[in-house]
Structure 1
Amino acid sequence: MAEPFREIAAGLFWLGDCLKFEYGDEIWHGHVSTYLVVGDERTLLLDTGHPAHWGVVESALDELLGDRPLDLVLPTHPEMPHAGNLPQLARKYPGLTVVGDTRDYHLYYPQLVERLAPTPVGDRIDLGGREIHMLPAIWRDLPNTVWAFDTGSGVMFVADGFSYSHHHLTGECRLYSSELPQPPDLEQTVFLNERALFWTRHVDSEHSEPDLETLFERYRPTLVAPAHGSVIDRLDEMVELLKAGMAESRKQNRLVAARWAPTDGSR
């Protein structure tokens, strides 16, 4: 990444790196983001970043925290881009506590059992001058995925829930969704939905939309911060695009199923 971090609100920093791959004659990037929240009394890292990016994450933490420790880490769910740096963080910060829905983290990281502090949806984590609210993940890929909200900035963290694969070029890694030279489109939304939210191929997402609207009405986020994709600053536009992407994924899957359905009456 060209920039190691971006302060997106007072005391809230967008960190992480990108997975890079060849596409034609160019090198394209895909976000694997993590977010540092700095309170008056405690600090919290939301998601850990991918282990391949540990050097980038560690360097940013050193610069931003200085002599302060990282007190808490909140992985949104136990997958490599979101929890893979837990061992490195635990070694670096001896007093670190892992919060969130940690019901199966002891299986992945048995050496961290004493660091786990289960934090159910509805709980609030006081950082001093701001709180992190534990939210239900309306759109999730694992049963113990959680979302979160920072009262100090008004930013909502949505893990893979707002999946859209905006492959971007060097120098575009820290741009908001509205700042990108080419805005996210339907095709890219469908692409990542079908990989991060596999259920969108088979289930109509409309049943969850009232829950999403209720959550937004309660918290009224200023920004939405996903793990994969730029920070979203035009929420209404992106929500409609994501809904359309989910509907398109379901539609395409129905067409594939119909194309391969037996025609001899054996079905």
Structure 2
Amino acid sequence: MKEVTDRVAWVGAIDWDRRLFDSLVPLPDGTTYNAYLVRGSEKTALLDTVDPHFSDTLFSALDGVSQIDYVVSHHAEQDHSGTIPLILSRFPKAKVVVTAKAKRMLMDLLPIPEEAFLVVADGDSLSLGDRTLTFIHTPWVHWPETMSSYLVEEKILFSCDFFGSHIASSDLLATDRCRVHEAAKRYFAEIMMPFRSIIAKNLDKLSNYDIRMIAPSHGQIYDQPGWIVDSYREWVSAAPRNLVTLPFVSMHGSTRIMVDHLASALSKRKVGVELFNLSVTDIGKLAMSLVDAGSIVLGAPTVLAGPHPLAAYAAFLANALRPKAQFLSIVGSYGWGGKTVDILAGMIPNLKVEVLAPVLCKGLPKKDTLAALDGLAESIALKHRENRYGN
């Protein structure tokens, strides 16, 4: 147990070794499962639990705690709520505080009896005596049932995955702002970006509260929360940057020649470009680049008449994350023919983009292909200038 204030303690767990989340998301810095104990003069509330693999760590932190009256489940996923059944076995009189949607989901996911739940509406408050929790429904950050809690007297927002980051650290507070900013942006890119428009509304809702501290369910606590809120507003609502995100794969070097030429042509026209070799890239880094990009160009050689599987995966990822890029194109080499462009175009229905003329060549790129790549670079530069994309 680590004290956050004299009435709030961190009772979570640090996962130093985890390198993959949901068998999908890279975790280069591990993560934490944050749980908080709020002690009022009359009642005690546990805000979130931990991943079940760390239940012993949670119970060790709660050693000496004789009473828990409420267990607040901000989010039904296992890493937040998976240990609730064990908590209820230790504290059988505790009520599980949830949104109506979370109640249904938790009954599907975990062996929690219906009579254990206390459903709260948006804006409801719960008295702990001299401390008060107000519940703020924040749906789709990043599941439909998600909510946050606001500790009125302390002005602390317990934000669940909102503003979270995957960092394993023994430091409670986000003192290394550069490191936390990158981790939080990675977290936003991989998890939150598909829900940008709803997150913008949730940010507006939070502006009604005087927030002195933000305590998320992953990562470190923000004791100066203004900068992370401002970062979220930028990631959600700011115009794209004068940047091209260029994920690619090359089997025999031809597509790589095209990608390198296009990158140079873009740079000469003062357009930023970030290359991601899909055979080795960190997908989280690619997702972070997509947060800002004004354009996406996919480098895809043809395999068995269609796009290389890694290029198809990149298209699937971009379609799922729904970045705010407004322009897209495809470059690549083929051996005898195929439908690479048609297949990739059919994989991105969620992207509201203007598709610029793709550049494909048979075999090794020659002068006409390089000239077409120069033309594509010029088209992208013009589009970015017309839309006033900044750096």
Counterpart pick for 1:175 among 161, 172, 175: 172
- After TM superposition, list the pairs within 5 Å mapping 1:1-267 onto structure 2: 5-21=1-17, 28-63=29-64, 65=65, 68-101=66-99, 102-137=103-138, 140-165=141-166, 167-168=167-168, 172-177=169-174, 179-180=175-176, 183-186=179-182, 188-197=183-192, 200=193, 202=194, 205=196, 208-209=199-200, 211-216=202-207, 218-246=208-236, 249-252=290-293, 255=296, 257=315, 258-259=328-329, 263=341
> Identity, % of aligned pairs?
22
> What is the letter of the counterpart of residue 222 of structure 1?
R
Post-superposition offset of 1:120: 1.6
1:54 shift after superposition: 0.9
Aligned CA distance change for structure 1 residues 242 and 128 (closer, same or farther; 3 Å): same
Q: Secondary structure at the match of 1:158?
A: strand
Q: Is the 8 A contact 1:139 1:161 kept in 2?
A: no
For the structure 1 residues 139 and 106, does the alpha-carbon distance in structure 2 shift closer, same or farther, using more than 3 Å as the test? closer
Query: Is the contact between residue 138 and residue 212 of structure 1 (CA under 8 Å) also seen in structure 2?
Result: no
- Paired AA for residue 42 in structure 2: E
Are 1:10 and 1:153, in contact at CA under 8 Å, matched by a contact in 2? no
The Cα shift of 1:189 comes to: 2.7
The alpha-carbon distance between structure 1 residues 193 and 45, as it changes in their structure 2 partners (threshold 3 A), is same
Query: Does structure 2 conserve the Cα–Cα contact (< 8 Å) formed by 1:103 and 1:144?
Result: no
Q: Choose between structure 1 and 2 for higher RCO, CA contacts under 8 A separated by at least 6 residues.
A: 1
Secondary structure of the structure 1 residue equivalent to 2:113: helix
Q: C-alpha displacement at 1:215, in angstroms?
A: 2.0
Shift of 1:154: 1.1
User: Which amino acid is 2:2 matched to?
Assistant: R
Q: CA deviation at 1:254?
A: 5.8
CA distance in 1 between counterparts of 2:83 and 2:294 reads 35
CA distance, structure 2, for counterparts of residue 154 and residue 18 of structure 1: 25
User: CA offsets per residue over residues 70-125 of structure 1, 9 Å max, x none?
Assistant: 11101111101111001110111121111111232222234422211211212111
* Whole-angstrom distance in 2 between the partners of 1:75 and 1:250: 29
Equivalent in the alignment of 2:278: none
Question: Shift of residue 241 of structure 1?
Answer: 2.8
So what's the TM-score if we normalise by structure 2? 0.56
Contact 2:95 2:117 in 1 (8 A): yes
**Alpha-carbon RMSD:** 2.8
CA distance in 1, matches of 2:229, 2:51: 26
Amino acid at match of 1:242: Y
Moved more, 72-81 or 241-250: 241-250
- Sort the Cα spacing of 1:51 and 1:239 in 2 relative to 1 into closer, same or farther, 3 A: same
1:22 and 1:51 map into 2 onto residues whose CA distance is 14
Task: List 4+ stretches of structure 1 deviating above 3 A.
Answer: 180-183, 206-211, 242-254, 259-267
Counterparts of 1:157 and 1:214, CA distance in 2: 14
Structure 2: segments with no counterpart, 5+ residues:
20-27, 239-288, 299-314, 316-327, 332-339, 347-391
